[in-house]
């Protein structure tokens, strides 16, 4: 079984990006992401209605971090360190050497390769530092941009599950992608 510890917090960086811990100082940016129906359209989670909801989300994220059950990074540009998105490893299964990758990005930053770069950093960290054997990503089948990011990193579509979850009065399909560390 894997031994996982996020203490100290593992900041990651690339040429343009700095991935750091999400803190209460990020409340406005987290609220902007999680309160927007357009941004959250592919993520079946309730919208944040207040900044308090965003703070509660940050608390949940940091509790998972303290308990070594998951990790969420703020995606920032090195030049200003302002949260423009989030990327996470969640639903960790240390006994199975498997975890799930998730992410969200402010649309003002779409089309610049930012998520592609962030995913590369986190995949490398998950495989080479944490020693996971496999990653999965569960996406809305209509989110082709997300599928393209995953495919660029050699994730393979494992399945399309019809009406596999129920959210806000309707059944939703899901696609599952995976990547194995060979």
DSSP class per residue in 35-87: T-TTTTTTS-SPPP-SHHHHHHHHHHHHHHHHTTS-EEEEEEETTT--EEEEE
- Secondary structure (H, E, C), 101-147: EEEEECHHHCCCCHHHHHHHHHHHHHHHHCCCCEEEEEECCCCHHHH
Domain membership of residue 95 (yes or no) is yes
Domain membership of residue 3 (yes or no) is no
**CATH number of the domain encompassing residue 28:** 3.40.630.30
Domain membership of residue 1 (yes or no) is no
Vertex 55 angle, CA 54 and 59, to 5°: 120
Domain membership of residue 161 (yes or no) is yes
Domain membership of residue 6 (yes or no) is no
Domain membership of residue 7 (yes or no) is no
- Specify the pLDDT at position 15: 95
Domain range for residue 140?
12-180
Let me know: does 156 contact 177? Beta carbons within 8 Å.
yes
Per-residue exposure over 25-55, b if at least 16 CB sit within 10 Å of its own CB, e if not: ebbebbbebbbeeebbeebeeeebeeeebbb
At 182, is the secondary structure helix, strand, or coil?
coil
At 150, is the secondary structure helix, strand, or coil?
helix
CA 8 remoteness from chain centre: 20
pLDDT in tens, 38-69: 999 999 999 999 999 999 999 999 999 999 99
**Confidence grade of residue 1 (pLDDT, cut at 50, 70, 90):** confident
**Confidence grade of residue 109 (pLDDT, cut at 50, 70, 90):** very high
At 12, is the secondary structure helix, strand, or coil?
strand
**Domains in the chain: how many in total?**
1
Domain membership of residue 2 (yes or no) is no
**Confidence grade of residue 182 (pLDDT, cut at 50, 70, 90):** confident
- Specify the pLDDT at position 35: 98
Domain membership of residue 136 (yes or no) is yes
Separation CA 87–CA 115 (nearest Å): 9
Segment holding 99, helix H or strand E: strand 98-105
């Amino acid at each position: 079984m894997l031994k996982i510890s996020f203490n100290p917090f593992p900041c990651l960086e690339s040429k343009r990006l700095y991935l750091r811990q999400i803190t209460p100082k990020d409340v406005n940016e987290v609220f902007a992401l999680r309160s927007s129906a357009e941004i959250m359209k592919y993520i079946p989670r309730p919208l944040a209605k207040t900044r308090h909801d965003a703070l509660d989300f940050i608390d949940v994220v940091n509790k998972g971090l303290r308990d070594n059950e998951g990790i969420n990074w703020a995606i920032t540009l090195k030049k200003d360190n302002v949260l423009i998105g989030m990327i996470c490893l969640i639903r960790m299964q240390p006994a199975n050497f498997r975890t799930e990758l998730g992410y969200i990005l402010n649309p003002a930053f779409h089309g610049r390769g930012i998520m592609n770069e962030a995913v590369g950093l986190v995949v490398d960290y998950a495989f080479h530092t944490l020693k996971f054997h496999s990653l999965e990503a569960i996406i809305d089948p209509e989110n082709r941009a997300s599928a393209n990011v995953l495919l660029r990193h050699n994730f393979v579509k494992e399945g399309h599950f019809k009406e596999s979850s129920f959210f806000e009065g309707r059944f939703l399909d899901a696609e599952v992608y995976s990547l194995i560390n060979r």
